[in-house]
Amino acid sequence: MKLRHFDDDGRTRFITFGTHKKVPLITNNENRKIIIDAISFMREKYGFRLIGYVLMPEHIHLVIIPAEGNKVGRIIGEIKRESAVRILDKMIKTKSPLLDKLKVTRNGVRKHAFWQRRCYDHNCRTPETVWKAIEYCHNNPIKRGLVNDASSWKWSSYGFYHGNNEVVLKIDSAA
């Protein structure tokens, strides 16, 4: 059964997408920066509002409000494609041992996959669910034991919501 997507309702969306086979590939600042750049580029291209995020070692959460007429699947697909090409190219050049875990055959072609093929997308129907999604992002590194305090995780929107404007991705107003 194919899930129905509601793209043009103006609602905030909580999106999660992960690395292929949940391999922890988002563990160094160079890969994180490539992903941040891809998100920033697609944000300019598609005009979505970013109101929360977190980068984790094997997945990403985004809380966005898509611009009218833009499909979330296309936005996330292009973020994934842009970042995967750059990171995989770097991994191939450096002969990363992680490449063996990323081998796939698709349509008879042998290649490497950086991201899982799909993403999880949830409509936030109330302001409360929007804030729960943002808080979930901020608490994810604590829950995983990566830090003891959310302010210690540079790769989220936490700082913005607590008076620090030096976040790696600019945040838009949730209102």
Give the pLDDT of residue 6. Answer: 52
pLDDT digits (tens, 9 = 90+) for 130-153: 999 999 999 999 999 999 999 999
Domain positions in the chain are: 12-161
Give the pLDDT of residue 77. Answer: 96
In the block, which residue shows the tokens 């941040």? Answer: 36
Q: 170 vs 43, 44, 52, 54, CA distance in Å?
A: 10, 12, 9, 13
- Give strand pairing partners of 18: 59
> Angle at Cα 24 formed by Cα 19 and Cα 30, nearest 5°?
95
The pTM for the full model equals 0.90
Mean pLDDT, to the nearest integer, of 13-39?
Answer: 97
pLDDT digits (tens, 9 = 90+) for 52-92: 999 999 999 999 999 988 899 999 999 999 999 999 999 99
pLDDT digits (tens, 9 = 90+) for 88-110: 999 999 999 999 999 999 889 99
Q: Is pLDDT above 70 for 37?
A: yes
Give residue 126's identity as a one-letter amino acid code.
Answer: T
Helix axes 72-93, 29-46, angle to 10 degrees: 150
Q: How far apart are CA 54 and CA 95, in angstroms?
A: 28
Architecture label for domain 12-161: 2-Layer Sandwich (3.30)
Please count the residues of the chain.
175
Half-sphere exposure of 39 (CA within 13 A, CB side): 25
What are the two backbone dihedrals, phi and then psi, of residue 105, each rounded to the nearest 5 degrees? Answer: -120, 120
pLDDT-above-90 percentage for the chain: 82
Q: Is pLDDT above 80 for 39?
A: yes
Q: Is pLDDT above 60 for 3?
A: no
101 contacts: CB under 8 Å, gap ≥ 6:
20, 21, 23
The dihedral sign for the CA sequence 139, 9, 170, 80: positive
